[in-house]
Structure 1
Amino acid sequence: MGTDLPLIAGLAIAGFSVPSVLSAFSEQRPPRASAAAILIAIGLITYAVLMKPGGYRVDEIPDAFFRVLGRLL
């Protein structure tokens, strides 16, 4: 689970930042917090992909999600 947690956390942060970006653009204000969240998400995902030997394939992401969920519960 060493690299699964950063991958899933990065994907979750990226997913939650999308509504924030859309809200900022619709209200015509700069998306500063959203940009920071996206940068953090990119960093976490990049770390996870680079530290896992062979990287991640798209079909491995659900398995990683359930491994992390199972470990937390």
Structure 2
Amino acid sequence: MDSDLVLVLGLILVGLAIPAAMSAHSDGRRPIAPAATLLIATGLIVFAYVAHPGGYTVRDVPGVFYSVVGRFMR
């Protein structure tokens, strides 16, 4: 699997887990599923960083995101 795709999947999972964790916290529930999702997302992001030669910088993330989305939009 492409490290760019893994990075984008991890970022999307983070984006989905944060509102779920806030919702669970506001309802007084234990955020088990959002916590597990955050752990998986963190693992994906770390794997992508290690697998990509030279790693990623914060400046690279928007370009990587748009290139991956562009590949699937064609």
User: Where does structure 1 differ by over 2 angstroms across 4 or more consecutive aligned residues?
Assistant: none
Residues of 2 paired with 1:26 and 1:65: CA distance? 31
Match of 1:34 in 2: 34
Per the TM alignment, residue 14 of structure 1 is displaced from its structure 2 partner at its CA by 0.3
Q: Unpaired runs of 5+ in structure 2?
A: none
Per the TM alignment, residue 19 of structure 1 is displaced from its structure 2 partner at its CA by 0.7
1:69 aligns with 2:32: no
Per the TM alignment, residue 16 of structure 1 is displaced from its structure 2 partner at its CA by 0.9
TM-score for both structures, normalised by structure 2: 0.93
TM-score for both structures, normalised by structure 1: 0.94
Matches within 5 A, 1:1-73: 2-73=2-73
Q: Give RMSD over aligned pairs.
A: 1.1
Residues of 2 paired with 1:59 and 1:46: CA distance? 17
Residues of 1 paired with 2:29 and 2:10: CA distance? 24
Name the amino acid aligned to 1:53.
P
Residues of 1 paired with 2:26 and 2:38: CA distance? 18
Residues of 2 paired with 1:2 and 1:17: CA distance? 23
Residues of 1 paired with 2:69 and 2:10: CA distance? 15
Per the TM alignment, residue 70 of structure 1 is displaced from its structure 2 partner at its CA by 1.2
Residues of 1 paired with 2:36 and 2:61: CA distance? 24
Residues of 2 paired with 1:48 and 1:25: CA distance? 30
SS, match of residue 53 in structure 1: coil
